[in-house]
Amino acid sequence: MATDPHALFEEWFAEARLAEPELTEAVALATADPSGMPSVRMVLMKGHDRRGFVFYTNSRSRKGGELAANPQATMLFYWKALGRQVRIEGKVETVTDAEADAYFATRARESQLGAWASDQSQPMANREDFEERYQALAAEHEAREVPRPQHWWGYRLAPDRIEFWIDRAHRLHERRLFTRSGSGWSESLLYP
C-alpha cells in the first residue's frame, strides 16, 4: 500500500492523459446548498498539488453561491479507458488573487470576455442580449488587456478523503481509501 495519495493521483492522472488525452482534467463537482440539496456539474481542474485541486468559476453562479454557504464539495474523476475513478472530498477555499489573476491571464481572450459577459446561472431572456453584451465588451477592450472580473474566482478543494477505484471483472472492484490523519494520511480498503 502507498501512503501518499497525491503521488498516486499524479501517477494515475499521467496515465489518463495518455489513455484519454481529450479533457483528462474534466471532473464532476458536487456541492450542496444550506438545506442539503445536492447539485453536480462538470468543471475543469486547472491545477493540483498537495494543497488540493483547483478550478475556476463565477462566484455568483449557483456553485459559487453554494460554496459560499457550504464550503464543502466532492470531485469525481472518471477515466473509462482505464476503468478508474478518483473521488475527492473536502473543504473548499478560494485561491489567492495572484493565483486567480495568473490563471485568468492564460485564458483565451474570448473566454476572458465571456467571463465578463455572462451572468452565470442567472435567467437569460434571450441569446441575442448575451451576444450583444459580449460584442460590446469586445469593442470596449479592443487592443487592451482584459482584467479578471472581481466575481471570477479560483477555488481549491483541500481533500480530507481520496478514494481510488479500479474496475475489476464481476464487480469485484478495488477500492483504496486515503483519509487525512493529522498532517499525513491513513489508508484502508473498502469492499466493492
The CATH number linked to 21 is 2.30.110.10
Please give the pLDDT value at position 3: 74
Determine, yes or no, domain membership for 137. Answer: no
pTM of the model: 0.93
Contact partners, residue 179, CB within 8 Å, separation at least 6: 160, 161, 185, 186, 187, 188
Name which of 87, 77, 89 is nearest 31 in CA terms.
Answer: 89
Structural domain boundaries enclosing 64: 5-107+149-190
Find the mean pLDDT for residues 27-39. 96
* Active site (annotated) includes residue 168: no
**pLDDT of 1 higher than 60:** no
Determine, yes or no, domain membership for 121. Answer: no
Determine, yes or no, domain membership for 133. Answer: no
Determine, yes or no, domain membership for 141. Answer: no
Determine, yes or no, domain membership for 142. Answer: no
* Catalytic pick among 109, 127, 171, 176: 171
How far is CA 113 from each of CA 127, 139, 182, rounded to the nearest angstrom?
16, 10, 43
Please give the pLDDT value at position 2: 63
Number of domains in the chain: 1
